[in-house]
A = this chain, B = another copy of it.
Amino acid sequence: MQRLGILLSGRGSNFLAIADAISAGRLRAEIAIVISNLAGSPGIAAARDRGLNAQVIPARARSREEHDAEIIAALQSAKVDLVCLAGYLRLLSPSFIRAYSQRILNIHPSLLPAFPGLHAQKQALEYGAKIAGCTVHFVDEKLDHGPIILQRALPVLPGDTEESLAARILEQEHIAYPEAIALVVEGRTRIEGRTVRITP
């Protein structure tokens, strides 16, 4: 059974969707550790409620490398196979990405390469996009850039606000992220250049 390490900074709704998919048997994996950089993350409280190993590792006044080294040590100590970013609001250092090369996933609330970075839903509305979506991808050195495992699209509706659009995208994220993790832990993904080939 593959062991997941979840990194989050907030409520961790994607973490809960992953945990629910495991409970429901849709995703054969186990959550080995949940880590937040922020002590007050509701996601950490939710992880503890579920009896999971949950740790707060604050950045304090340290360099990114030092902070990441402590996180890597925690992930290694928990024997994590695959790192899943779930609303983790810090950039990973290059050494973190090397330590878990092609074993770090992220979810982003747009159809990348459209609208990378913060406030993707607001960017989509301001651009006047009529189709929005979300992307699960392997993490590489560039922001919101690595090879894409899957994407889900949905319509932008008349009258959509940033909040209403974000909520509908989040519903799709909660479907997409467990599906993508399942593809990876089942060994059905193969990275060729930028393309992720999926074995049926």
Contacts and interface: CB of A to CB of B under 8 A. Distances in A.
A131 B153 contact: yes
A152 B131 contact: yes
- Residue of A135, A150, A151 with highest tally of chain B CB at under 10 A: A151
Interface of A: 111-115, 125-131, 133, 135, 147-153, 158, 193-198, 200
Copies of this chain per assembly: 2
- What secondary structure prevails in chain A residues at the interface with B? mixed
A193 B126 CA distance: 9
Given A114-B113, A158-B198, A198-B158, A148 B133 contact: no
Nearest to A115: B113
A144 to B, nearest CB: 12
Contact of A111 (B111, B193, B194, B196): B111
A130 B136 CA distance: 10
B114 A128 contact: no
A200 B126 CA distance: 21
A83 B113 CA distance: 30
A125 B113 CA distance: 12
B158 A197 contact: yes
Contact of A195 (B128, B150, B195): B128
Contacts of A111: 111, 114, 129, 131, 153
A151 B133 CA distance: 12
- Residue of A135, A153, A196, A198 with highest tally of chain B CB at under 10 A: A153
